[in-house]
Amino acid sequence: MKIVLGISASIAAYKAAELASHLIKHGHVVNVAMTRAATEFITPLTFQTLTRNPVLVSLEDEKQSWKPGHIELADQADLLLVAPATANLLGEFAHGLAPDPLTSIYLALPRTTPVLVAPAMNGKMWLHPATQRNVAVLARDGCKFIGPAEGSLACGYEGIGRMVETDAILREAEKCLAGRK
C-alpha cells in the first residue's frame, strides 16, 4: 500500500524515522512530505534514505514532472499518516490552508482516502479551545486521531501532549489500510 507520511515541526519528528522504517519493513511504499520547520528537527535526507523516495518540503520541490507532486501523491495515497502533527498544522488542515506540499496533499486527497493524525505538542496547546475546535472540525471531516499520550513532554512539563508510541501508530495505520485492500 502507498502511504504518505506527513511530518510537522515537533521534537517528536525523530520518531517519524522509526515509523517510516517500520512501514517499509511491512511492505508499504512510503513518500514523505515535511513542513519546512520540521527540517529543523530532522533532515529530509534521513527520510529519502529510509524510503528511497524524494521528500517534498516546499512546492518548489515539485519541478520534476508536469503533474504537481502533491497532486500525484494525493492521487496515489492509500493513507495519509501525519506524525507528528503540531497545533499549527491542525489549524492549517482545519481551515483549508495549503502553504506547503503536506497541507496541499491533505486538501487534494480523494475523500475516500483515510487520514490518521498523531498530535504532538505542549499540553496547554493541545487543550486550548482553538486546538480543540480544529480537532473537532477535522474529526467531522473524517480524520482519525491517535493520541496524544500522557507523560514527560520536551518542554519539561508532565501531562498530555506526547506523540503516542510508534507501535500504536503502526497498528492504527494497518487498521486504516485494512478496509482499502
Catalytic site includes residue 143: no
Looking at residue 84, which CATH number applies to its domain? 3.40.50.1950
Q: Taking the model in full, what pTM does it have? A: 0.95
**Residues 76, 155, 157, 158: which is the catalytic one?**
155
The secondary element (H helix, E strand) that includes residue 26 is none
pLDDT in tens, 112-168: 999 999 999 999 999 999 999 999 999 999 999 999 999 887 888 888 989 999 999
Q: How many domains does the chain have?
A: 1
Q: Which residue has the cell 496541499?
A: 104
Query: For residues 140 and 134, what is the distance between their CA atoms, to the nearest angstrom?
Result: 10
Helix count and strand count (H, E) for the chain: 8, 8
Q: Which residue has the cell 500504536?
A: 168
Structural domain of 82: 2-178
Q: 57 pLDDT band (50/70/90 cuts)?
A: very high
Cβ-count burial of 50 within 10 angstroms (0-12 exposed, 13-18 middle, 19+ buried)? buried
